[in-house]
Amino acid sequence: MEAEQVDRAWRDEPAAAHAGLAAVRDIREGLYLVLRAAIIDADGGTADDLVAAGAALVALHQRWSGAVARARFVLDSSRVRLAYDTVPAMLVPDRIAEAAYDVMLTADLTRVRRCPVLEGGCGWLFLDRSRNGSRRWCRMADCGNVVKARRLTERRRAARPSGSEAVGEGVPVRAVMPSRDAQQTFAKAL
Ligand SMILES: [Zn+2]
């Protein structure tokens, strides 16, 4: 029902659909810059990173306040909540703006980590909720396993006598690696 309303709004007004998509990308990029700045000391950033994060906070506040302005209060059985459904074309970016707000205000930002690019990871940000705070990969099923498989392939290749290169051996690491563009994208923890 709700998805149909959004679909119809986007079809009826393609410019509104593009505006919604631009808003989503804006929020994603802004949140990345803010969370990245939160780990700058640990991950080696520059003063420019802090300036970019400050600008991103301003932009995120504008997105969030726009979303709140479009929202309405709804009385559920036990509480009042904000519903972001008055402008269907903006429903998706408005909910994402709320989610970004929620992460920034409630998450423990000392737990933000970056999937290690230098070790073959994708550079995405995530929240480390492990008990001892030692999680390294965005998701073990993605980068963790890919890097492990690549190391195994490299070890096997190093152990193999020269001239015995076999086609089809090993894991097609590049085929499943997230694109490098992913480094500039949204925190996966959302
Ligand atoms: Zn990763």
121-164 pLDDT, tens digit each:
999 999 999 999 899 999 888 898 877 787 788 788 888 766 55
Distance 175 CA to ligand 1 centre (A): 14
Quick check: helix, strand or coil at residue 143?
helix
Q: Cα(87) to centroid of ligand 1, in Å?
A: 35
Report how far residue 118's alpha carbon sits from residue 138's, in angstroms, rounded to the nearest whole number: 14
Tell me what the pLDDT averaged over the chain comes to.
Answer: 84
| pLDDT at residue 173 in the model | 40
With bands split at pLDDT 50, 70 and 90, how would you rate the model's confidence at 71?
A: very high
The answer to pTM > 0.85 is no
63-77 mean pLDDT: 96
Q: What percent of the chain has pLDDT over 70?
A: 82
Question: In angstroms, what is the span from residue 182 Cα to ligand 1's centroid?
Answer: 9
In this prediction, residue 28 carries a pLDDT of 96
Distance 167 CA to ligand 1 centre (A): 27
Instruction: Compute CA distances 29 → 3, 50, 139, whole Å.
Output: 24, 14, 20
- 154-185 pLDDT, tens digit each: 788 888 766 554 444 443 444 334 444 444 44
Strands 112-114 and 80-83: unpaired
Q: Give the N- to C-terminal CA distance of the chain in Å, as an integer.
A: 24
